[in-house]
Amino acid sequence: MNAESWETLFMRILQNICLVLGMSRRTLRVSKIRDGTVIDHITSGHALNVIKILGINGRSNGIVTIAMNVPSQKLGVKDIVKVEGRELNPEEVNRIALIAPHATINIIRNFKVVEKQRVKLPSIIQGTIKCTNPPCISNSENEPVKPIFYVEGEEPLRLRCHYCGHIMGKEDVLKQY
Amino acid sequence: MSYLLPLMVCFMVSASVFIGRDVISVKDFTREEVDYLLRIASEMEPLAESSSDILKGKIMATLFFEPSTRTKLSFEAAMYKLGGLVIGFSEPEASSMKKGENLADTVRVVEKYADMIVLRHPAEGAARFAAEYAKVPVINAGSGAEEHPTQAFLDLYTIMKEKGRIDGLKIALMGDLRYGRTVHSLAYALSLYKTKLFLVSPELLRIRREVLEDVNARIEVSEHSNIEEILPEIDVLYVTRIQKERFPDLAEYTKVRGSYVIDLNVLRRARSDLIILHPLPRVDEIASEVDSTPFARYFQQVKNGLVVRMALLALILGAVKE
Ligand SMILES: [Zn+2]
């Protein structure tokens, strides 16, 4: 089995877990984690994208738990992702903001929430993602250039490249991970 | 009354707003600034006939990483007409340069010799990037398929000169609207005025969504596949070339090509005061039989390009007195 199909298999197992959780949410609670990060209030349907954007795959260590379509007062339904043994850095939090602008990040140490923050999409994004317009100067390998985008909309996501003016949406961001 | 003062100041454009300024995108300019530029251009007309020394001692560098004889000639002639000097290179030398030095380094070298840089580059956004590194003003003379702002200014000048106004006109842009940088810049420029825009192109070469959205936020725009249905309505027809390389197969190209050729037969339904513009070089999208009709104004554009670029160079280098 090659790496690619391991990944597919892993994703399928995750989806099955989600289905189980979804069907029996009255009895089955997502287990608490000791140390790590809980990403809550993810726009429903985007849990797997959050996993993807964080680069979590079959080869990563630690338990990852996903809950989808969890009832939420704020969002109606939401998704939750728990990542055991990993605290997200600000750059990763920014990336999550691109696809789940209402998400909250809870850093857990010894079963306790030690830090809670809402993700916030900055008005200018630098370096996190690439311009999907191939002839854009920001894709040039010989130039000292960092891609810069202006956030023109959060939901739906709308980013404008500082250099070529190209407009990108959520799909353009997801394609890159 | 004093609260009115700042308001009035911001509507009043003077030569000083152009000094040392980069010309990267039409989007960086207000209507008042463009009007002012067009006015200075008309004042340059007599100087284009004779010559002047208002830019004596100034050096303009033309960095052309992509061939464009016409644009380069126009900028150089404008600089010489104003008594300035020109240094630079174009594509053949540039290709050997590409292997070694990058654009960021090139502009940081050239700025030590020149008072201004005129840049043509195949990458989109190249001019904005170069301007971030250069201490001298950068003029975008074409950045990939993205923009060609000075061409748009000369197109506006031509319309103004030939029609006496821009407001209230119905203008059609026809041909390759997707990859045509002149079309992108012109569409932005026309949206500064009260114009109505008709975009005529094959499905595959429709204008980029980001351009359409920006322009449509300001003026009325409609997209068409056929020029004939709108021809009787329009005041200005702007034609661009459709290149066969843009099509995945030749059959598709041959199928659409005929619908985007302007000849006397097509023009039978045009208004008698229609004017036809083209950024040149033209291949066969305008039949040569049209050249001798009063519709054809594309060769006047060339002369207008000279005075508009003279105005821009003089303004940016601070040679225009209030
Ligand atoms: Zn770009």
pLDDT more than 70, % of chain A = 83
* pLDDT confidence tier of residue B228, bands split at 50, 70 and 90: very high
Nearest CA in chain B to A166: B210
* pLDDT confidence tier of residue B51, bands split at 50, 70 and 90: confident
What is residue B95's predicted lDDT score, i.e. its pLDDT? 60
What is residue A60's predicted lDDT score, i.e. its pLDDT? 73
Asked whether the beta carbons of residue A137 and residue B129 sit closer than 8 angstroms, the reply is: yes
What is residue B4's predicted lDDT score, i.e. its pLDDT? 46
B75-84, B93-102, B235-244 — most confident range: B75-84
Asked whether the beta carbons of residue B128 and residue A163 sit closer than 8 angstroms, the reply is: yes
Write down the mean pLDDT value for chain A. Answer: 85
Global pTM reads: 0.87
pLDDT exceeds cutoff 90 at B321: no
Question: Which residues in B have their CB inside 8 Å of a CB on A?
Answer: 25, 27, 102-104, 121-126, 128-129, 143-146, 209-210, 213
pLDDT exceeds cutoff 80 at B102: yes
Best mutation target among A130, A152, A163 (most B Cβ atoms within 10 Å) is A163
What is residue B5's predicted lDDT score, i.e. its pLDDT? 46
Nearest CA in chain B to A143: B102
* pLDDT confidence tier of residue B67, bands split at 50, 70 and 90: confident
Measure CB to CB from residue B125 to each of A142, A164, A167 and give the nearest one.
A164
What is residue A8's predicted lDDT score, i.e. its pLDDT? 57
What is residue B98's predicted lDDT score, i.e. its pLDDT? 56
Range B285-303 average pLDDT = 96
Asked whether the beta carbons of residue A167 and residue B210 sit closer than 8 angstroms, the reply is: yes
What is residue A23's predicted lDDT score, i.e. its pLDDT? 47
Query: What spacing in Å lies between the alpha carbon of B31 and ligand 1's midpoint?
Result: 26
pLDDT exceeds cutoff 60 at B254: yes
SS3 track for chain B = CCCHHHHHHHHCCCHHHHCCCCECCHHHCCHHHHHHHHHHHHHHHHHHHCCCCCCCCCEEEEEECCCCHHHHHHHHHHHHHCCCEEEEECHHHHHHHHHHCCHHHHHHHHCCCCCEEEEEECCECHHHHHHHHCCCCEEEEEECCCECHHHHHHHHHHHHHHHCCCCCCEEEEECCCCCCHHHHHHHHHHCCCCCEEEEECCHHHCCCHHHHHHHHCCCEEEEECCCCCCHHHCCEEEECCCCHHHCCCHHHHHHHHHHHCECHHHHCCCCCCCEEECCCCCCCCECHHHCCCCCECHHHHHHHHHHHHHHHHHHHCCCCCC
B1 or B185: whose pLDDT is higher?
B185
B183 or B94: whose pLDDT is higher?
B183
pLDDT digits (tens, 9 = 90+) for A66-116: 999 999 888 889 999 999 999 988 888 888 999 999 999 999 999 999 999
* pLDDT confidence tier of residue B122, bands split at 50, 70 and 90: very high
What is residue A4's predicted lDDT score, i.e. its pLDDT? 52
* pLDDT confidence tier of residue B243, bands split at 50, 70 and 90: confident
Asked whether the beta carbons of residue B103 and residue A137 sit closer than 8 angstroms, the reply is: yes
Q: Which residues of B are catalytic?
A: 70-71, 99, 120, 148
Query: What spacing in Å lies between the alpha carbon of A163 and ligand 1's midpoint?
Result: 5
Asked whether the beta carbons of residue A163 and residue B145 sit closer than 8 angstroms, the reply is: no
Write down the mean pLDDT value for chain B. Answer: 93
Asked whether the beta carbons of residue A135 and residue B209 sit closer than 8 angstroms, the reply is: no
Distance from CA of A127 to the nearest CA of B (A): 15
| ipTM, 2 dp | 0.90
